[in-house]
Structure 1
Amino acid sequence: MNGYVETDIKESALELIGNTPLVAFDRLYTGPGRILAKCEFMNPGASIKCRSSLHMINMARESGELKPGAPVLEVTSGNQGCGLAVVCAVLNHPLTLTMSKGNSVQRAVHMEALGATCVRVPQVEGTYGNVTLADVKAAEAEGLKMVEETGAFYVNQFNNKSNADAHYYSTGPEIWKQTGHRVDAFVATVGTAGTFTGTSRFLKEKNPEVQCYVVEPEGSQPIRGCDITKPLHLLQGSGYGCIPNIFQFEYMDGTLSVTDEEAVHYKNLIGQKEGLYVGYTSGANIAAAVKLLESGKLPKDAWVVTVLNDSGLKYSATEKM
């Protein structure tokens, strides 16, 4: 065979992170307006957290804070751990993760299949599938103890600026390009606030008129300024009952609340109408997008962009309503 033949071969799984499709949910929601969903479950770790995992590790390596081959440790609800497991496997960093036993065991299985060690920490007050801030703090305490004992690099996603920067440099620009620069609103659940803060910052820099809304579980709405009346909810990885340290109010135009029942309803509709099997926060994001479009706060032909955070395969059957 003569001549040069162009190939399209990725060097590693790291090149599979990002550049996810944006799909119209025209079957689930028929208007007025339109819902566009970013398919973050298509990242190699099956969630949006692959983006921040790669960026946080790369920044630590570039700064010299993380040496080649050095151990890494993080506290996770599962998705960040899976993303870090992808990155650390490729870059040859031993990875240890602490996670509440209330988070889906599927996530621990996923992380360990990629070579990570997952330490599942007993819950303080939650139940399986319902993780509270106290449960997260217990996992954090165990993680910090291990960091002190081992000297591992602590990723610290809740306080790491590179978490939000990952979405400023990737998620936001991708959405802007994919929509042809037409975004009327962006809505997203908040865990660490990396996705919301970074994406909203980028979109508002491009067009200050873009409306950005935080999605919170009903009864756990600290960003809205409400007392916490329901710390137990189904939205794993979000709605921890506190305002995250990297959250920035200047990029927020309002909040939307979603009940467990609404999240489950739309999670199921995404599967039945759009053929995509996703998790509970994805259902909450779509529920919130529908509420915003039906609120009259946007033009009738508005395009609302949101994210499908992770795969439904990360959840247990016992978590169903």
Structure 2
Amino acid sequence: MAEVNGVPNEIKSSALELIGNTPLVALDRLYTGPGRILAKCEFVNPGASVKCRTSLHMIRKAREAGLLKPKDPVIEVTSGNQGCGLSVVCAVLGHPLTLVMSKGNSVQRALHMEALGAKCIRVPQVQGKYGFVTQADFKAAEAEGIKLAEKSGSYFVNQYNNEMNVDAHYSTTGPEIWRQSGHRVDAFVAAVGTGGTFTGASKYLKERNPNILCYVAEPAGAEPIKGTPITKPMHLLQGSGSGCVPSLFNYEYLDGTFAVTDEEATEYRKLIGEKEGLFVGFSSAANVAAAVKLLQSGKLPEDAWVVTLLNDTGLKYTPVAEEIQ
């Protein structure tokens, strides 16, 4: 705690100090038991998502390693949330930032990034439509981002292959959950985008207690972690369920998966708002839906506590409409 004229105060030095240590809230109005769902409110991060954690950690580690010099330009491919987190971090640290994103991802994310001084390049879709981003759409954006990084010489964050993505959750998310729950965690549930959240947090939690069960929430019909064929490449869970097992994902920590339909994600998004007063995105809703399924599956004791994440704010999404493009 800093002091002014000898008097302690709680003034933060920058937005970077607002990242992490998010509250853990009980969803006791939405789910009345048996058992309990506890959710990390990642939408209170300054970039309004869990990706602020990895943005800060990956950039700090790159600077410490000498891979990124002061004022050097940065580039990344994003579905939006990583871009918003990087926009916060790069604005404070003084790095020019370019972000490449599919046009299928919500335009609010582009507006958010640009409001923080970043440049956002939106790449046309090749398969999906607005609000539904397929693996092919992401690959098109990725190819454009890699090409721009090579041409410009900018530091490429490469969240899908950056081990510091996992380390961010091992060193912050996992320890926070363990501390905030009073060391009482029976299971952990997370949707998978890059795999960083699930792998990092699960690794930490299982090191504390090997009996903790860790599950993945996947979009129904796009369940590569479960190992089934992709029958529905277009779904509402932007930033997760991209149709392949990400390189950072580690099966060592996986105890099972739960499929969540678009209809279930929409229903639980509504319930989280109406029952808990929290406006969140679709992957957050999928996490809660999967947590309910887990508690009702008989895989856990009746009084089990399941921890999950509310990944981002609902303000990052628009109604699905072609004309927004």
TM-score normalised by the shorter chain: which range applies? over 0.9
2:18 match: 16
Q: Trace 1:1-321 onto structure 2 (pairs within 5 A).
A: 4-318=6-320
Map Cα deviations across residues 48-104 of structure 1 (whole Å, 9 max, x no partner). 000000000000000000011000000000000000000000000000000000000
Residue 5 of structure 1 and its aligned partner are, at CA, apart by 1.6
Map Cα deviations across residues 136-194 of structure 1 (whole Å, 9 max, x no partner). 00001110111111000000000000001000000000000000000000000000000
**TM-score, reference length from structure 1:** 0.98
Unpaired segments ≥5 residues, structure 1: none
Unpaired segments ≥5 residues, structure 2: none
Residue 199 of structure 1 and its aligned partner are, at CA, apart by 0.3
Map Cα deviations across residues 251-297 of structure 1 (whole Å, 9 max, x no partner). 11001110000001000000000000000001000000000000000
What CA distance in whole angstroms lies between the structure 1 residues aligned with 2:243 and 2:5?
Answer: 61
* Paired letter, 2:308: T
Sequence identity percentage? 72
Map Cα deviations across residues 206-241 of structure 1 (whole Å, 9 max, x no partner). 000000001100000010010000000000000001
**TM-score, reference length from structure 2:** 0.97
| Secondary structure, counterpart of 2:43 in structure 1 | helix
Residue 3 of structure 1 and its aligned partner are, at CA, apart by 7.2
Over the aligned positions, Cα root-mean-square deviation in angstroms equals 0.9
What CA distance in whole angstroms lies between the structure 2 residues aligned with 1:177 and 1:110?
Answer: 32
CA gap of 1:298–1:117, structure 2 versus 1, over 3 A, is same
| Secondary structure, counterpart of 1:11 in structure 2 | coil
* Paired letter, 2:193: G
| Secondary structure, counterpart of 1:213 in structure 2 | strand
What CA distance in whole angstroms lies between the structure 2 residues aligned with 1:300 and 1:141?
Answer: 48
* Paired letter, 1:189: A
| Secondary structure, counterpart of 1:157 in structure 2 | coil
What CA distance in whole angstroms lies between the structure 2 residues aligned with 1:6 and 1:80?
Answer: 34
| Secondary structure, counterpart of 1:297 in structure 2 | coil
Greater than 6 Å deviation, 4+ residue runs = none
